Structure 1
Amino acid sequence: MFVFCLGLSIAGAGAGCVVGDGAASFDAPPVSVRAAGTGSSTTGPATTGPATTGPAGDLVATWVDAVQGVYGNGLSAAALTRNALITNVRANPVMVSVPLATESYADEGGEPELRFQLRHEPTREVMRYLVSCALEEGQSVSYTDTSTGEETTFPGEIGICPQWAEGGIGAKCRQLLTACMLSRVNALGRHVTLSMRGQAFQEDRPELLTPAPSVRVVTVTEDGDPIPSFARCTTETSGASRDCGWTPGHIGTCTPGSYVYIGVGGEPLGDCEADPSSAAGLPQGDTVVRVCSGIRGCDSGSPDHIEPSEVRCSGRSEPALHFRCPVSGHFSVMNGPRTSGGGGAPGLGKVLGAALQKHKRFSVTSHVQPMPPPPPGAISIIEASFKPAEYPAPEARVFRWREGAFYGSFWGNKPLHHRLEEGMNEVTEDGEFHGAPGSGESIFRHAFACTGEYWTEQAAYVEARLCAGAGEDKDCVATSVGACGDAHSFTDCPPLDQCSVADGGRVEGDGDFQQCKGVLGGIWRHPITVYLNHPSDVIRASPFARMVSGALYVDAPLCPDPEDAP
């Protein structure tokens, strides 16, 4: 599985994340930059690898699971459609025939078609996400601008095609990487978390692009800014109301309106009281817990902060937290030591304590809200729809809205729009970028997108999702082909069944589209299917089936199959 925080922003200001195996938590794909004449490096929005300690405050660990992690995005559609590599007629075929490596792009000694192209900042954005999709942790590509001495390093993260570091890549890698980058475009410039599902190289990493058993709490805002509560405390601060020194836990699911109880420790919760006074006299534990509505962490004053009460549960010496499940049906758990921070570098005890803190386990139980008994013969709607709270919740339950599939290839047989000619979207040795005029349509001839069953006006949706500019200056990164499979007939029915397989066979039930068609026919065998936590995550005004208390509610029939039409 990979859950990606979306951020190929049309405005160029987006950020996002990806949840995938063995990764750390960022608000954008990391890029290290070393300025000329300096002896230290500064890292982008966040750094990879384990957490580090600073001169003040406790270590607040960056989560690295064996199951998944959170990656960040921020590439704009404008950069993807006007860059000096993929949309450069000369550079495009060369870059997939040589290693994705430092030597290939060097100003001195690199491939002639690739030299100097990374002097263009939007092209460096594209490289950042290309390396993020292709290479895995521990791999990287570096570039030194010989005109300024500035060095930039692009670390690998997801690892769809790590073999690209050694040599050219074939059609499967090209298609998977195209789908990876297309799916990370964000029209709103917001930090959007999404789930990406597909069939990669299962023999090497069978868990890649398949749903995981848990999802980490998102640690940045919709604007991509770090949530302050996950920063270190610079002074010693105590209690659950502090806005520093917290560690992200996992995301849980619950029935909206039901009562949820959560306790520290792996042992099951016994019978719990509803009255907060029941916790009187219980000793305070060494761990504080915060619960937030949705899939992000929160500060104490945030509207998403759920104010819980402490209650007594049988068989427990410490109080448990009691809260009402939010309308979203999702909650995020944060935890930390009761006291955090302090001057000076943390000693071994503090570091060890923080390391243990991040591996805290929690137990969760829930029950329906007490209600008056229904009239004879009637059924309580809440009871009928009640499902027990689950923590941590599996990825497939956190991300249930199938947005659609992205597929095609940025490389291959005449991949670029016919308006693009040699010399366009190219950087000269003096660093000047010669951009191409707008195409008015998709800049890539073989890049496509289809929508899931709950979306209408497919072409307009994909345009808002994947295009930048307007009129003749508009450039898109993919062409809309209609609905991937079925579609509800809210408005005019689109072309249906663009993908002949609605659930790829490698992981039964993960709902990944396969065998998808392009505009002129032909089958693309390596799409990536995107699932969202909420249907308006990527397009604020997107049309979709109504959602009641976190559940799908459809009041329109499916479009008729053309083969069944009279």
Structure 2
Amino acid sequence: MASSVLRVPWCFLLLALTGCESALPDSADVGPGAGVALGTSESDIRIANSLLTQELVVNAIAANHDANQTLATSSLESLFDPDEMVLNGQTAFINHQLRDPYAQRFMAYLVGCALGPGETLKWLNPSQPAGSQLSEWAGSAGLCPWWRTQAPGDACLKRVTACLLARNNKLGQRVDLSMRGELHEPALSIAQPFALDAWTKPLDHVPASSAPLSSSVPCDEQTVGAGRDCGWTMHSVGWCPAGQTIAVGAGGPQSCDSPGTPLGSSDEARMMLRVCRGIAGCNNADARHVASSQGCSPESTNPTPDEATDPSVRFTCPASGGYFTVMTAPWDSEVAGTANVGVSAGVQAPLSERSVYRIREGAFYGNLFGKDALRDDINVTVRQVSGQRNKYEVIRPRSPQTAPIFNDLYACYDPGWVYGMAYATYRVCALPGSGQDCAAKVTGPCWNTDPQAPRQCDQQDGPLLSGDGDFGKCHDPSNNVWEEPVTVYLNGACDLVDDAHRDLCKRRSEPAPPLEDSRSAPGKR
């Protein structure tokens, strides 16, 4: 049985943004196995394949008036958890609507936004045979953890809405981002900013994919040596100063040709290092792989740390500078050790979340929950196919839709974009060239340094955490103020733009390189 203790979110909100397809379908058949991959820990928003636009806006939970209102006014456990749910017409209807695979995906992302890391919500998958229906959705962001045991409240619904809206992108692929904002719950005496991680680990998946990096997966059998692609740990992200030759070590010297004071140290076992370009880990044969090290005497089979086997990597940074990642691993995959990583002078590492995600994209806000959330002419339903006992079909609105499905979903863009309106439309619309099938209305620039120029938000840095750059008090076209926006930061300006639309991600200027104290820090086992 789940605890009823109130759990306030503590984690940094570094999440995987995953995408949308090109248009809204007219209808979909739902066979008995339609939801087989859903409802497990793999559906968490950190690692799910993608939250498509249609999964967000035309699913049979959010885009059904009765189901939406029930969800907005009930605890999650009372509707979904078989150990806690109240058996009545409402829960039966919600379970029926879950025959829509879009609804299952939507709920997986909703739980990921609302509940915190390590939390799960049980549910019954009606697309599975009796006895095999028990499933779980996993939490991640922790923006409204009390929704598990009680009705969420208005501010909570708005935060979760913003989180869900920020999960969309046209590419339909995983892109990692940082969410910034503030959590205000006066009735619970809560007023706190989204916390930012002081140490950002490299991404452990293949870039632009949800597939796990093979090097981050445990080895199936005992393996030794730096060339292996299993059993590595994502250690840290650093900034490589433009054109400089730098070194990273865990007990090895800055150069094997001229040994000197070692960088860092290795403890308990012989350790190895791998350095990759960018903010994601890499495999040995990847183009992003810079170098790996198992010490200045790589031929040695000594399994213990010493000056000949302690690793270090020396490399030259690109002319424009850039990010690099550090991975660590024991030389022998079946032993445990610690790599205390050190870096040469002038290197910024390990970097914080704020330093890794520096491109402010814009803000997302609104409310997709409640009795007035949907257009009156929209109501997605699930019905049994005539004459077929176990087959159902989902009745959705036709595509394209010229107006958004939901009345109050909005996005504004950072003024740093050269083509801000075009970029933001590309971001939230499945058919951006036509302005159709959009998940939200683009309201304009979030901020403008000219007080006489249009701006959609009253604050460009919320008061609870100075310097995190979260927009606050953002307006819709009717000038209503929304108090719970989520501001998104990207690692790269073109992270969400395909090759054919690169002009859209032009920025007026690039942020300065990260400025954090160079320091040694203990490694991860």
Calculate the TM-score normalised by the size of structure 2. Answer: 0.77
Partner residue of 1:5 out of 12, 16, 38: 16
Distance (whole Å) between structure 2 residues aligned to residue 478 and residue 141 of structure 1: 30
| CA displacement 1:78-124 (0-9 Å, x = unmatched) | 21121001111221111111111264587964615423011111110
Within-5 A mapping of 1:287-298:
287-298=271-282
Change (3 A) 1:538 1:471: closer
- 8 A contact 1:484–1:497 mirrored in 2: yes
Matched, 1:228 2:214: yes
Q: Secondary structure at the match of 2:76?
A: coil
Distance 1:547 1:305 in 2: 29
Counterparts of residues 435-454 of structure 1 (less than 5 Å): 435-438=396-399, 439-454=401-416
In 1: Cα distance, 2:292 partner to 2:453 partner: 48
Q: Report the CA distance shift for 1:546/1:500 in structure 2 as closer, same or farther (over 3 A).
A: closer
Partner residue, 2:240: 254
Q: Which moves more between the two structures, 145-154 or 532-541?
A: 145-154
What is aligned with 1:463?
A: 425
With 496-505 and 101-110 compared, the bigger mean Cα shift is at 101-110
Partner of 1:243: 229
Aligned CA distance change for structure 1 residues 441 and 539 (closer, same or farther; 3 Å): farther
Structure 1 residue 549, shift from structure 2 partner: 10
1:397-408 matches, within 5 Å, as 397-408=355-366
Which of 191, 195, 202 is the aligned partner of 1:210?
Answer: 195
- Kindly tell me: are residues 476 and 506 of structure 1, through their superposed partners in 2, closer, same or farther at Cα, counting changes over 3 Å? same
Amino acid at match of 2:495: D
What is residue 431 of structure 1 aligned with on the other side?
392
* Alignment CA distance shift 1:549-1:411 (3 Å): closer
**1 CA distance for matches of 2:433 and 2:488?**
28
Q: How many angstroms apart in 1 are the aligned matches of 2:137 and 2:231?
A: 29
Helix, strand or coil at the partner of 1:290 = strand
Quick one: distance in 2 between partners of 1:396 and 1:243?
Answer: 30
Gap runs ≥5 in structure 1: 13-32, 49-68, 342-349, 367-387, 489-493, 553-566
Asked if 1:219 corresponds to 2:204, the answer is: yes
Q: Which runs of 4+ in 1 moved over 4 A?
A: 33-36, 41-48, 69-73, 104-108, 201-208, 282-285, 308-312, 469-473, 546-552
2:178 to 174, 192, 195: 195
1:470–1:81 distance in 2 versus 1, CA, 3 Å = same
CA–CA distance in structure 1, aligned partners of residues 406 and 360 of structure 2? 24
How big is the shift at 1:468? 2.0
Aligned-partner Cα distance in 1 for 2:358–2:511? 14
CA–CA separation in structure 1 for the residues paired with 2:119 and 2:204: 23
8 Å contact kept, 2:250–2:341 = yes
Deviations 1:262-298 (A, max 9, x none): 2226xxx9xx655x42359x99970011011111000
Would you say the 8 A contact 1:70–1:216 is kept in 2?
Answer: no
Give 1:463-482 correspondences, 5 Å limit. Answer: 463-469=425-431, 474-482=436-444
Tell whether the 8 Å contact from 2:270 to 2:330 is kept in structure 1 after alignment: yes
Q: Indicate how the Cα distance of structure 1 residues 91 and 46 shifts in structure 2: closer, same or farther if over 3 A, else same.
A: closer
Structure 1 residue 441, shift from structure 2 partner: 2.8
Equivalent pair of 2:60/2:103 in contact (CA under 8 Å): yes
Preserved CA contact (<8 Å) 1:253 1:389: yes
What's the CA shift string for 1:241-273, capped at 9, x where partnerless?
1111211112112312222222226xxx9xx65
Question: What SS class does the counterpart of residue 215 from structure 2 fall into?
Answer: helix
Partners of 1:42 and 1:538 in 2: CA distance: 25
SS in structure 2 opposite 1:427?
A: strand
1:94 paired residue number = 70
- How many residue pairs match? The answer is 456
Query: Any conservation in 1 of the 2:68–2:371 contact (CA below 8 Å)?
Result: no
| Residues 474, 485 of structure 2: 8 Å contact kept | yes
Could you say what the CA RMSD is over the residues aligned between the two structures, in angstroms? 3.6
Q: Is the 8 A contact 1:256 1:549 kept in 2?
A: no
8 Å CA contact 2:170, 2:426 repeated in 1: yes
- The CA deviation string for residues 530-564 of structure 1, in whole angstroms up to 9 with x for no partner, is 00100001123233226779759xxxxxxxxxxxx
Q: How far did 1:9 drift? A: 2.7
Deviations 1:345-371 (A, max 9, x none): xxxxx4xx2xx54xx3311123xxxxx
Matches within 5 A, 1:165-176: 165-176=148-159
| TM-score normalised according to structure 1 size | 0.72
Q: 1:321: which partner in 2? A: 313
